[in-house]
Structure formats: C-alpha cells, structure tokens
Amino acid sequence: MPRLLVAEDDADLGPAMKRALELDGYVADLFTRGDDVLAAASVATYDVILLDLGLPHMSGLEVLRELRSAKNVTPVIIITAFDRTPHRVAGLDAGADDYVVKPVDLEELAARIRSQLRRKDRRQDDSISVGEVTLDFSGHVATLDGESVALTAKEYRVLALLMRRNRRFVSKAELEGELYDQDHWVESNTVEVAISALRRKFGRDFIRTARGLGYMVGSQET
C-alpha cells in the first residue's frame, strides 16, 4: 500500500486531504510544520510527498532543498496557492517532480500521484507516460494500462514526438519531418494514417487535433 506524506498547515484542508487519500486506499501521514516534515521524511520512507510551500518553522522550499541535498529522491508534488511562473520555476528547480495550484481536484491529484508512483517504479528507465499510455524509448515499447501495444516504426516515431511534446501541439509538417529521416519518402497521408492507427490502439480521445495547429496528446488530468 503506497505511503504518502501530506504537508499542509491549514487546519481544515490538511485533514480533508488525508481523509480523501485514505479513501483512495493510501496510507497518509499529515504534518503541519516544515521541520516535522523534514524529520519524518528523513526517518521513514514515503512513496510520494505532497508538499505545501507556506509551512511554518521551515518553508516547503527549504524542506525540499534539504531533502534533495540529503540525496532523498522521493517524488515530491508541490500543492500551493502560489501560481506565478517564478514560483513554479523555483519549486521545480528545488527538485519538485510536479507543481499543482490550489484548489486541486481530488481526481486530478490522484492521477498525478499515480503518475509519480509509476515513474518511481521506472526511475532508471527511459520512458514517458501520458495518461495511461507509457512509451519506453529504450525498448521501443508502448503500453496502455500496463498492456503492451504493438506499434509500427512510423507509429512509434509519431507517438514518441507527440509524447515528448506532452500538452503542446505538434504540426503535421514536424511529424512529416520526423518520418522523413527514416524513409526518405513520405506520402501525403502518411501522418494521418499513423495518427488514425494510434487512435485505434489508444482510444480516439488520446490524440487531440486542431486545424492549423496539428496534433497533441495529454490533458489536464495527465
């Protein structure tokens, strides 16, 4: 059973989060002071740490820096009300694995925790996950919900580029360029064929499209 550390000083939010996570089947320890968080994370092993930035006695960022300088690699998801880009940058630079702005939807939080847990399992691997789809670059293998999915070389290249650009559009020209390297010849509908094959394999909603922009994978929850 995955064990989570919840660092949240708000007297209402902290217990609510702990309870919600426990309902989802996690073991959750709640701490309200920064120094307590650091102490707990140093002695016990957690699978994911949910860290608020505005903690008393020691700020979330200080806790994170201390953890990372002590070679603690536990995945950390920052959950904070500070939403400006400089804050996000500071958080990620300090070693956070994800950054979520309050109020956070419990379903979304659960998905992000699952994503961190998956990533933790494959920390040494060279792979990317978007939603339930994972692409392993070293083995050229894709999985959907843990089930492996067979891909052609073209499909793999298209999917790899889309997943590397998670939540950003990739133009058709770029995808064609990606295929061109391999084939020296790309027929006009090669990209469309690969996209529709990928949609058949991973679900229609997995790849989104917008005319004039191209294709993308990833949504808020992933």
Interface of this chain with other proteins, residues 122 to 161, rule: CB under 8 A = none
**Tokens, residue 198:** 């990928």
- The residue to which tokens 């709640």 are assigned: 30
Interface of this chain with other proteins, residues 76 to 95, rule: CB under 8 A = 80-84, 87
Q: Which stretch binds other proteins (CB under 8 A): 11-19, 34-42, 55-63, 65-73?
A: 11-19
User: Looking at 27, 35, 54, 193, which residue binds other proteins (CB under 8 A)?
Assistant: 54
DSSP character string of 119-143: HHHTTTS-EEEETTEEEETTTTEEE
Angle ∠(16,22,28) on CA atoms, nearest 5: 85
Q: Which contiguous run of DSSP H or E holds residue 16?
A: helix 13-23
DSSP character string of 100-125: EESSPPHHHHHHHHHHHHHHHHTTTS
User: Looking at 2, 13, 40, 176, which residue binds other proteins (CB under 8 A)?
Assistant: 13
Q: 84 vs 123, which CB is nearer to other proteins?
A: 84
Q: 102 vs 122, which CB is nearer to other proteins?
A: 102
Q: Which contiguous run of DSSP H or E holds residue 49?
A: strand 48-51
Give every CB contact of residue 156 below 8 A, 6+ residues apart in sequence.
Answer: 140, 142
Q: Which stretch binds other proteins (CB under 8 A): 42-50, 74-82, 120-128, 189-197?
A: 74-82
Q: How far is the CB of 122 from other proteins (least distance, A)?
A: 24
Q: 126 vs 205, which CB is nearer to other proteins?
A: 205
Under the rule (CB under 8 A), what is the footprint of other proteins? 10, 12-13, 16-17, 19-20, 23, 54, 80-84, 87, 101-106, 167-169, 171, 204-205, 208, 210-214, 216, 218-220
